[in-house]
Amino acid sequence: MMLLPNHLSGRWTSGTGTGSVLRDPVLGTELVRVDATGLDLPAGFAFARTQGAAALRELTYRARGELLAAIAKVLQANRDAYYEIATANSGTVKGDSAVDIDGAIYTLGTYAKLASTLGDRKYLFDGDATSLAKDGTFQSRHFLVPTRGLALFINAFNFPSWGLWEKAAPALLSGVPVVVKPATSTAWLTQRMVKDVVDAGVLPAGALSVVCGSSAGLLDALEPFDVLSFTGSAETAATIRSHPAVAQRSVRTNIEADSLNSAILLPGEDATSPAFDLFVKEVAREMTVKAGQKCTAIRRAFVPESLYDATAAALNARLGKTTVGNPRNETVRMGSLVSRAQLQSVRDGIAALRQEAQLLHDGDTHGLVDADPGVACCVGPTLFGVRDGDAAHIVHEREVFGPVATLVPFRSVEHAVSLVRRGQGSLVSSLYGSDPAALADTAIELADSHGRVHVISPDVASSQTGHGNVMPQSMHGGPGRAGGGEELGGLRALNFYHRRAAIQAGSAVLAALAG
């Protein structure tokens, strides 16, 4: 079985241990093996900080943007191979693989274009100069300069492609080298993409590294000017926050954790209205895309009390048409979860929700297509409902990371907002209705507890980008239990990889800095 090598210190190197086996989650077959035992992480990180960072900082933003465009071309040229890996290692149907793979290429292209707006500079301005003297001869101006460290990404299993490049694009554009540690269970796609880019000679040595396997020692190797981005569970995030690298050495950290995202159908609609139809379609789509394994997927769906039964019936009918099983079969619309461990986690979550919620659509009624139920990590879309959202607890506290959602009725918009906030901070909430004023008022009311509010009305039905699709132009992240982090948002993403400093000097010096 092939052992995937790691790339560190500008060279490919294999671990010295037995490592972990990656499996096909539908067929159960062994695919490849990964291992990071015995790697000299401090030396590899030092190489990235010195060789990789120095070469990147010599380039202007425009030139670094050209590197991103070149990376996108490499990925586009190898796209078919990535789809094959995604099917085999993640169990995704073609459309779901596209969210990950093509979404990554699109994000790289977006940042390549944004680079041209920054021009031939090596640092950025943050506001205008402010006078510190009565005669205006001595002033202060804030600048953003690339951090001298590296960017370590500890990524989740659900987006092995997009999860890398949505972070790497702004990091590399900022002039900061990247070390990525993909989740072990789906590391193959990340490793292959890094290998293709490295082999193509697009980036300077040390600008892009990958460590597959155990994360042991990664945080120990971080230094004060490094930055760390983590996507995963709140439990692991808490461990990271207490690590000496963060707690003592002040490594800047961005965290994306659990998120009980919501969808709300505003009052004033009925079961025949276009907004109702948009709501039902989006909830069902978000439950089934990537088998619900998206950090932005809808977990709680809120509707007026008068529409609870009609919504339950409409969702049940739509979900019942979802074919589940082997993604290689063209009739299958939803593939598998990524591993046996994830399958057990989802089953445990379903069992927990059964304690307080009514089963409205049973995922076990879906027979698997071209897949052995005893082997495949498949579970059908499962919809729960609670009549009293105030009395419910598990629904507002536990995220089941799979094709699972809960329908909850509300009495008023204020009541709906209060129930949504019991999620304690989320990545995204989506609103559905046809009254612009009501949609606007509710959106701004939800903004303090969400990173993004996605508003869908009939007039944007054909142009809206989707509740769960993370577009590089908009911020991705959320407060509270969602981790408190911020990613993307156009050029805002570069702030994480820059250090802000005030330079106090005479007007002539500041004019020279302004070019």
User: Which CA distances in Å does 186 have to 19, 172, 189, 293, 361?
Assistant: 14, 23, 7, 13, 29
Q: What are residue 383's DSSP bridge partners?
A: 361, 405
Nearest to 49 by CA among 258, 223, 197: 223
- Verify whether residue 256 is a known catalytic residue: yes
Residue type, 119: G
Cα distances (angstroms) measured from residue 230 to each of 238, 254, 426, 484: 11, 6, 16, 11
The residues near 424 (Cβ < 8 Å, ≥ 6 apart) are: 260, 449, 480, 481
Alpha-carbon gap, residue 229 to 182, rounded angstroms: 12
Instruction: Tell me which residue of 238, 154, 299, 286 sits closest to 484, measured CA to CA.
Output: 238
Residues 6+ apart with CB under 8 A from 191: 4, 34, 182, 210, 212
Parallel, antiparallel, or unpaired: how do β-strands 178-181 and 151-154 relate? parallel
Q: Is 295 a catalytic residue?
A: yes
The catalytically annotated residue of 212, 295, 377, 378 is 295
The values of phi and psi at residue 60, to 5°, are -85, 170
Residues ≥6 apart with Cβ < 8 Å to 265: 275, 276, 279, 301, 302, 303, 304, 307, 311, 432, 433
Give the distance, in angstroms, between the CA of residue 123 and the centroid of all CA atoms in the same chain: 27
From the number of C-beta atoms within 10 Å of its C-beta (0-12, 13-18, 19+), residue 195 rates as middle
For the record, the structure tokens of 382 come out as: 């499962």
> Active-site residue among 166, 212, 256, 487?
256
Residue that has been written with the tokens 């070019």 in this structure: 515
Q: Is 186 exposed, middle or buried (0-12, 13-18, 19+ CB in 10 A)?
A: buried
The separation between CA 294 and the C-alpha centre of its own chain, rounded to angstroms, equals: 8
According to the 3-state scheme, what is the secondary structure of 411-436?
Answer: CCHHHHHHHHHCCCCEEEEEEECCCH
DSSP one-letter string for 429-471: EEEE-S-HHHHHHHHHHHGGGEEEEEEE-GGGTTT---SS---
Catalytically active residues are: 256, 295
